[in-house]
Amino acid sequence: MTLSRRTFLQVGGALGAAVSMGALAKVPFSQGEAQPRLVPPSGSVDCHMHLYDSRIPAAPGATLLPPDASLEDYRQLQQRLGIRRMVIVTPSTYGTDNRVLLDGLLRSRGDARGVAVVASTITDAELAELHQAGVRGIRFNLSVGSQALDGIEQLAPRVAELGWNVQVATGPLLPEVAPRLLALPGQLVIDHMGHVPQPEGLKSEAYAALIRLLDTDRGWVKLSAPYLRSKTGAPLFEDVGVVAGALISHRPERMLWGSDWPHPTLPASQKPDDGQILDLLTGWAPEARTQAMILRDNPVQLYGF
């Protein structure tokens, strides 16, 4: 089902009213209502969030089927956090169908860039259309196993020519797939801190693989979803914070921050307080200059805002 431009514009036209009315309301898929202590610098970017729309069917075999999470819902979170720019990532739910992503890019009115999921058979003309829409990367999600990297060697040089990055959700497979990733051309983004396991943390093979990737000067790491691997838990996620702090100290100019809203891997009762998630940066990167680098300067450079 293709959504018409008229539908996009009708929904987009209601955006300002929806944000205004929701200013004091609880943000969907998020706990808490207080503003974070950290005040992001103007131009900051949430580098990892998803949109869901049940009008677009899930891919055959998809196992993650969250409820609808709209751009209007997300704009309420942006207002709370003080971050207007975003990177919309096509989730595994839709396979290589990027219509929800493209809808979000159109209605974001320049505030968003996109990371798409594409087939290895995609044509140059189709890549050009995605670029025009605001896509600046492609994603491989290894939640189904290392076979999900099929086609990465063919696609990486093609998207590198467009100035795009290749993003990989490695899950626990980072040590296994790191040699293939190290051999790729272009910019490489690892999301969710490479799923560094706990309590191994800095002593793990996954952390060592992240450092090798960062030291190529082509690697980037998303400081997102600390709840995925933490054993110590909310609100501070101290064990994951040790990993985040070490990564930032090693290559602050290669770090990105993402909310992972609407936190699709967590049940409704366990959604985090996104204000507290943002405030974790004050402990991981105490200096305002480093925070600005992570929240604004690095993503502006990588995604071309």
> Which residues carry out catalysis?
260
What is d(CA 281, CA 245) in angstroms, rounded to the nearest whole number? 9
Pairing of strands 45-49, 85-89: parallel
Q: What are phi and psi of 193, to 5 degrees?
A: 55, 30
Asked if 104 and 68 count as a contact pair (C-beta separation under 8 A), the reply is no
Residue the block writes with tokens 């207007």 = 84
> Do 97 and 126 contact (CB within 8 A), yes or no?
no
Angle between helices 238-250 and 274-284 (to 10 degrees): 50
Contact 226, 193 (CB under 8 A): yes
**Contact assessment for residue 52 and residue 11, using Cβ atoms and an 8 Å cutoff:** no
